[in-house]
């Protein structure tokens, strides 16, 4: 389940190369799972799977609803007062808010944004964090 969801999130990013997309010109140079390479070209993103939960109220152990907590962090070293990081946050929200993920062996139910953390500017790096939940059921 973990690798299925991680692959679905990465594939969604990888397929977003159209004009204005997160993977398009002016978007992220890199989008990594769990950890970016030590030397990464700005701007880049990292996504984490922070936990999973199940809901068997509408089913049983064979067809329970799964929920994954996802954290997406974006980093930019641009000296622009946060303009680029704000644009990239909008691109993340356009791509993932209420999107339908293609998750191998599962049917996606929803992907919803749960929170946006305050922007951070530390050590001349802008950092934005968006939290999501993805709901899916085994097929």
pLDDT given at position 15: 86
pLDDT over 90 at 58, yes or no: no
**Residue 24 neighbours by CB distance under 10 Å:** 13
Mean pLDDT of the residues in the chain? 89
- List the one residue out of 13, 31, 17, 24 whose CA is nearest residue 102: 13
Beta bridge partners of 110: 135
C-alpha torsion 29→31→37→43, nearest 10: 40
Respond yes or no on whether the N-terminal peptide bond of residue 43 is cis (omega within 30° of 0).
Answer: yes
For residue 18, give both structure tokens: 């159209």
Contacts of 44 (CB under 8 A, 6+ apart): 28, 29, 30, 31, 32, 36, 74, 75
Under the banding of pLDDT at 50, 70 and 90, the label for residue 61 is: low
pLDDT tens per residue, range 97-132: 999 899 888 888 899 999 999 999 999 999 999 999
Percent helix, strand, coil in the chain, to 5, is 20, 40, 40
């Amino acid at each position: 389940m973990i690798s299925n969801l991680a692959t679905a999130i990465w594939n969604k990013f990888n397929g977003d190369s159209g004009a204005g997309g997160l993977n398009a010109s002016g978007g992220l140079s890199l989008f990594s799972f769990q950890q970016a390479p030590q030397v990464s070209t700005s701007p880049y993103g990292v996504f984490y799977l922070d936990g999973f939960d199940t809901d068997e109220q509408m089913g049983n152990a064979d067809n329970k609803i799964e929920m994954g907590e996802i954290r997406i962090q974006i980093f930019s070293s641009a000296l622009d007062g946060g303009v680029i990081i704000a644009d990239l946050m909008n691109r993340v929200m356009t791509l993932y808010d209420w999107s339908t993920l293609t998750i191998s062996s599962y049917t996606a139910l929803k992907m919803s944004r749960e929170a946006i953390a305050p922007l951070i500017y530390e050590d001349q790096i802008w950092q934005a964090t968006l939290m999501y939940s993805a709901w899916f059921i085994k097929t």
